Structure 1
Amino acid sequence: MAFLEGPSLKQAEVIKQDIGEGPGDLERGVRDLRSMLAASPYLPEPDSVEKQVLELFIRGCRMDMQRARNKLEAFFLSRSRFRDLYEYTSLSVPPLSESCKFMDVVTLPKLTDEGYRVTIGRVRPGYSDSCADITDVTRAVLLVSDVRMHDETLIAGDVFIWEVSNIRASLAAKIMAAASAVRRSIYLAQAAYPQRMKRIHVVGARPFLASSLQLMRSCVNEKVRNRYYIHPKVEDLLEHIPARVLPEEWGGQEESIDTLARRWRNRVDDLRDYIHNLNDISNATPAPILDNDMYGTVGAFRKLDID
């Protein structure tokens, strides 16, 4: 069985209709992206990028090839520009193993009825303050996102759940102190990953997190900003997400978050060579940084002001 379950045949047809994918469109799109890679002196060689990754960008951009080209360009150039966010390739060894003692980052195996993929970020109870390094948490989230791209299939969109009821007041200052890393990761998720954000659920947020939530909301576009849902308890999620998708401790039928988190840590280790290669091909011919522009390259990804 695949690490992430794909859609049913009926779901797949509905998703393809929603994104406007017709017969032969995906193959033509892959050829288009490979041509773009071949034409740029700053991007990887076309044959070094897996077809699966290219297909995710095309479908994640609803078959809009200009958007797909822009995002693919951003994906590789941002890895070269912000190497500090991508330098670690394991959740099992420090420093990211320490961040896993603070937060579990888990993408759930099953899709919702709409075909959405759900990813959980759960702050663990009783964490040590020394483990709560927000920059390392953003690195862990991006690492799971990269590994997920290797295993992901046709989906209709993304749903994120941030369960933060265990956060202590002392962490709020750390989040604000790491605002630059938080902004970078959120902007990268929008500009450089083939996501179609459908909903963001925040569970158990206490009043002292108001400024942190405002920081995250300020980093997304208005459409995503209007898709935030705030819940006092995890049981409220069952009104939005089927029980068969959610973990057992949240009233669902899926394996526990602890079990899934272990599986993800193992999966990241299994694909360490894949991640190393992704970093290597991104850094092979880094583009120059010109003045305040992030990159002066072909395409629309000329400036991403996220410092």
Structure 2
Amino acid sequence: MAFLQGPSAKQLEIIKQEMGEGPGDMDRCVRDLRSMCAASPHLPQPDVFDRPFLELFVRGCRMDMERARKKLDQFCVARTRYRDLYEHRSLTEPPLNDICKFMDIVSLPLLTDEGARVTIFRIRPNYPDSSCDVAATVRAVLLLSDVRMRDEKPIAGDVFVWEVSAVRGGIVSRVASAITAIRRGIHLAHAAYPQRLKRNHIVGAPAFLASSLQLMRSCMNEKVKRRFYLHAKVDELLDHIPSRVLPIEYGGQEESIDILARKWRQRTDELREYLRNLNEMSNASAPKPDNDIYGTVGAFRKLDID
């Protein structure tokens, strides 16, 4: 059962105003995306997508239909183009079940006052080294992104919280060995999913990561840099996110991360057929891969953030 809550009536009006969405605009935009699918030889038929799903692309692109069409196309084509990233669709079965011992990936049920969705990526304390598979973690993030696309409501944007205080030094070599999957994951997050990044919070980075994060931040454009925060402790998040939204581990009022992570795993299993259908939505006639799959630092330079 889906448990993401949507905006209040007042928040929805604010979101529409921020997006520049007027009366009748959404009807026109949804028809546009359905027409694109009907005319494309490699996209699914228009009735494959329900209206809320298409609305996510429209609002995620601030009513810019050229961007929305490109993102929807890439969302579908990615299933064929990067098949290895989408081949495992369960968090309770091998090989992705081990990732749950390494990282919790949890989108929180309530929205912030501005109408943003908060997603927590928490490195689990005392994780076994065998579970620290960075390439598989990218696959798990994409899997939960697809699940969230099924359940998400109108939102103003995304707030990401990365709690990395428990990460150990061995992660560095594992990141290096999985750099291709990481680059592709960043590429897809930007090119194929209707995300509007509001803020990125990094919490508890140990010394061996802090210098790399500072270097990465120095390479960002000013707009991205203003939305990138480094925190020593989780309680500093309360200066940016209401306590009613945050889990109890972070001084908030929401259920614990362990409970929420278990609910997300359960929701993933409930949507097995939906996830399988997503993987089959693009056919073999899909366009060839682009060569411009940029690296991590370069991605921050190129990100087009509203």
Runs of 4+ with deviation above 6 angstroms: 218-221
User: Following the alignment from structure 1 to structure 2, what is the Cα–Cα distance between the partners of residues 7 and 56?
Assistant: 14
Match of 1:261 in 2: 261
Residues 95 and 225 from structure 1, CA distance in 2 versus in 1: closer, same or farther, beyond 3 angstroms? Answer: farther
Match status 1:7 vs 2:7 = yes
User: Following the alignment from structure 1 to structure 2, what is the Cα–Cα distance between the partners of residues 132 and 212?
Assistant: 19
Match of 2:286 in 1: 287
Match of 1:298 in 2: none
State whether residues 104 and 261 of structure 2, in contact with CA within 8 Å, keep that contact through their aligned partners in structure 1: yes
Deviation at 1:116, TM superposition (A): 0.5
State whether residues 5 and 109 of structure 1, in contact with CA within 8 Å, keep that contact through their aligned partners in structure 2: yes
Map 1:54-93; keep pairs closer than 5 Å.
Answer: 54-93=54-93
Match of 1:305 in 2: 293
Name the SS of the counterpart of 2:109 in structure 1.
coil
Deviation at 1:221, TM superposition (A): 6.5
Match of 2:301 in 1: none
Residues 82 and 272 from structure 1, CA distance in 2 versus in 1: closer, same or farther, beyond 3 angstroms? Answer: same
Name the SS of the counterpart of 2:13 in structure 1.
helix
Deviations 1:94-131 (A, max 9, x none): 11110110000000000000000000000001111110
Residues 217 and 264 from structure 1, CA distance in 2 versus in 1: closer, same or farther, beyond 3 angstroms? Answer: farther
User: Following the alignment from structure 2 to structure 1, what is the Cα–Cα distance between the partners of residues 50 and 88?
Assistant: 21
TM-score (norm 1): 0.91
Residues 241 and 138 from structure 1, CA distance in 2 versus in 1: closer, same or farther, beyond 3 angstroms? Answer: same
Name the SS of the counterpart of 2:160 in structure 1.
strand
User: Following the alignment from structure 1 to structure 2, what is the Cα–Cα distance between the partners of residues 220 and 266?
Assistant: 37
User: Following the alignment from structure 1 to structure 2, what is the Cα–Cα distance between the partners of residues 114 and 159?
Assistant: 11
Name the SS of the counterpart of 1:223 in structure 2.
helix
User: Following the alignment from structure 2 to structure 1, what is the Cα–Cα distance between the partners of residues 187 and 205?
Assistant: 22
User: Following the alignment from structure 2 to structure 1, what is the Cα–Cα distance between the partners of residues 128 and 90?
Assistant: 20
* AA of the residue aligned to 1:176: A
* AA of the residue aligned to 1:203: V
Map 1:271-286; keep pairs closer than 5 Å.
Answer: 271-282=271-282, 284-286=283-285
* AA of the residue aligned to 1:285: A
Match of 2:47 in 1: 47
Deviation at 1:214, TM superposition (A): 6.7
For the aligned residues, what is the CA RMSD?
2.0
Match of 1:246 in 2: 246
Deviation at 1:213, TM superposition (A): 3.5
User: Following the alignment from structure 1 to structure 2, what is the Cα–Cα distance between the partners of residues 279 and 220?
Assistant: 33
Unaligned 5+ segments in structure 1 are 296-302
Deviation at 1:216, TM superposition (A): 6.8
Deviation at 1:267, TM superposition (A): 0.3
Match of 1:101 in 2: 101
Match of 1:33 in 2: 33
Deviation at 1:22, TM superposition (A): 1.1
* AA of the residue aligned to 1:63: M
Report the number of matched residues.
295
* AA of the residue aligned to 2:165: S
User: Following the alignment from structure 1 to structure 2, what is the Cα–Cα distance between the partners of residues 215 and 47?
Assistant: 46
TM-score (norm 2): 0.91
Name the SS of the counterpart of 1:159 in structure 2.
strand
Match of 1:299 in 2: none
State whether residues 187 and 219 of structure 1, in contact with CA within 8 Å, keep that contact through their aligned partners in structure 2: no
Match of 1:136 in 2: 136
State whether residues 175 and 212 of structure 1, in contact with CA within 8 Å, keep that contact through their aligned partners in structure 2: no
Residues 266 and 167 from structure 1, CA distance in 2 versus in 1: closer, same or farther, beyond 3 angstroms? Answer: same
* AA of the residue aligned to 1:276: R
Deviation at 1:2, TM superposition (A): 5.1
State whether residues 183 and 293 of structure 2, in contact with CA within 8 Å, keep that contact through their aligned partners in structure 1: no
User: Following the alignment from structure 1 to structure 2, what is the Cα–Cα distance between the partners of residues 68 and 177?
Assistant: 33
Residues 202 and 239 from structure 1, CA distance in 2 versus in 1: closer, same or farther, beyond 3 angstroms? Answer: same
Deviation at 1:207, TM superposition (A): 2.0
Match of 1:160 in 2: 160
Name the SS of the counterpart of 1:281 in structure 2.
coil
Residues 60 and 215 from structure 1, CA distance in 2 versus in 1: closer, same or farther, beyond 3 angstroms? Answer: farther
User: Following the alignment from structure 1 to structure 2, what is the Cα–Cα distance between the partners of residues 227 and 33?
Assistant: 30
* AA of the residue aligned to 2:149: M
State whether residues 79 and 280 of structure 2, in contact with CA within 8 Å, keep that contact through their aligned partners in structure 1: no
User: Following the alignment from structure 1 to structure 2, what is the Cα–Cα distance between the partners of residues 271 and 75?
Assistant: 18
Unaligned 5+ segments in structure 2 are 296-306
Deviation at 1:225, TM superposition (A): 4.1
User: Following the alignment from structure 1 to structure 2, what is the Cα–Cα distance between the partners of residues 100 and 65?
Assistant: 37
Residues 269 and 220 from structure 1, CA distance in 2 versus in 1: closer, same or farther, beyond 3 angstroms? Answer: farther
Residues 186 and 226 from structure 1, CA distance in 2 versus in 1: closer, same or farther, beyond 3 angstroms? Answer: farther
State whether residues 43 and 285 of structure 1, in contact with CA within 8 Å, keep that contact through their aligned partners in structure 2: no
* AA of the residue aligned to 2:170: S
Deviations 1:136-182 (A, max 9, x none): 11111111110001110110000000000000111121112211111
Query: Could you tell me the percent identity over the aligned residues?
Result: 63
